[in-house]
Amino acid sequence: MQIVEHVLNMKGGYVLDFSDRTFDEFIAHEVGIDATAPRFSEDGGSKAKRLRRILPSLAAGQQARMLRAFLDYRDSPARDSRVDLLDDEWRQSYEKIIRGLEKQVTDADNTYAASSWTGVRTIREQVAIVRGLAPVTLREIDVLADLIESKRFNDPITADAVQCLRDLHRQLGDLIDAIDRGNMTRAAVEAIEANREKLTHYVKQGAKLTMVAPAMTFGIMHLLAWLSGVPIDSTIVSTVYGSVVGVDVLTAFTKKSSLAGT
């Protein structure tokens, strides 16, 4: 971490010349992570302290991507002149870290055994899909769970749905780690699909996800379906669509009716 901290000028809580806003946007763009999440601020809210929490939470491929993006930014003309030029020794050490992380991903891809996978997709197809979609799905699930919790609903179905979202978040994180270790199995993907079906059940039973964020709920369902390779249930489409229409009708009613607010 000493090399990373030196290259990224992390003294005094800073990261290069990023402001809090541009740092948060950079992290979200590169790895799909909400850098403002409370778990990253347990040691303090500075950019450097949050980055020290964010980096080890990422899979090897994501770490490599983010570190390389930081280096590209550091080398770009857009960087602040206050950021010193990087000498060759530090650069080579930093790039060696990136290559090591990338090698972990390559080695993992080369160690998959066909016997560990019995899905319709080839294992390499499944790996590519998870690497592409899982980070986005993680972010969306985290945002939706926080949003629903902020509404402080007190019905058990909604509480169960939020817990299901948290479980899916954990499972997806574990799946990304498994890919980096080269031991992803069909069972891990099936476990995620089982929780997706459970979440679908809660939505059908009236969990307030679709009332608060119908489009986001529908998007997450589709992302999870792509990850598991199981087509989305047409009834969940109807449920979410009905919620969208209902919200639109209620919004129009609120604007036109003298009963609004009573």
Percentage of the chain modeled with pLDDT above 90 = 34
Residue 258: predicted pLDDT: 33
- Which has more confidence, 85 or 190? 190
Q: Looking at this protein, which amino acid is placed at residue 215?
A: A
Question: Average pLDDT in the 35-55 region?
Answer: 90
Confidence tier at 6 by pLDDT (50, 70, 90)? very high
Phi, psi of 121 (to 5 degrees): -70, 155
Residue 254: predicted pLDDT: 38
158 vs 180: CA distance, rounded Å = 34
Residue 211: name the closest of 232, 242, 237 by CA: 242
Percentage of the chain modeled with pLDDT above 70 = 80
Residue 260: predicted pLDDT: 34
115 vs 249: CA distance, rounded Å = 52
Has residue 251 got a pLDDT over 60? no
What token pair was written down for 223? Answer: 């992302």
- Which has more confidence, 23 or 31? 23
3-state DSSP of the chain = CHHHHHHCCCHHHCCCCCCHHHHHHHHHHHHCCCCCCHHHHCCCCCHHHHHHHHHHHCCHHHHHHHHHHHHHHHHCCCCCCCCCCCCHHHHHHHHHHHHHHHHHHHHHHHHCCHHHCCCCCCHHHHHHHHHHHHHHHHHHHHHHHHHHHHCCCCCHHHHHHHHHHHHHHHHHHHHHHHHHHCCCCHHHHHHHHHHHHHHHHHHHCCCCHHHHCHHHHHHHHHHHHHHHCCCCCHHHHHHHHHHHHHHHHHHHHHHHCCCCCC
Residue 114: predicted pLDDT: 47
Q: By the 8 A CB rule, do 217 and 164 touch? A: no
Q: What is the pLDDT of residues 104-152, one digit of tens each?
A: 777 766 655 444 555 566 777 777 788 878 888 888 898 899 999 999 8
159 vs 208: CA distance, rounded Å = 9
Residue 66: predicted pLDDT: 92
Residue 39: predicted pLDDT: 83
Residue 256: predicted pLDDT: 38
Q: What is the pLDDT of residues 145-161, one digit of tens each?
A: 999 999 989 899 999 99
Residue 207: predicted pLDDT: 93
Q: How far apart are the first and last CA of the chain?
A: 58
Has residue 211 got a pLDDT over 80? yes
154 vs 217: CA distance, rounded Å = 19
187 vs 194: CA distance, rounded Å = 10
Q: What is the pLDDT of residues 214-241, one digit of tens each?
A: 888 888 888 888 888 776 655 544 444 4
Confidence tier at 75 by pLDDT (50, 70, 90)? confident
Has residue 68 got a pLDDT over 90? yes
Confidence tier at 98 by pLDDT (50, 70, 90)? very high
Residues with Cβ within 8 Å of 87's Cβ and at least 6 positions away in sequence, in order, are none
Residues with Cβ within 8 Å of 213's Cβ and at least 6 positions away in sequence, in order, are 144, 147, 148
Residue 22: predicted pLDDT: 93
Has residue 253 got a pLDDT over 50? no
Burial-class residue 66 by CB neighbours within 10 Å (0-12, 13-18, 19+): buried
Residue 175: name the closest of 253, 121, 108 by CA: 108
Has residue 250 got a pLDDT over 60? no
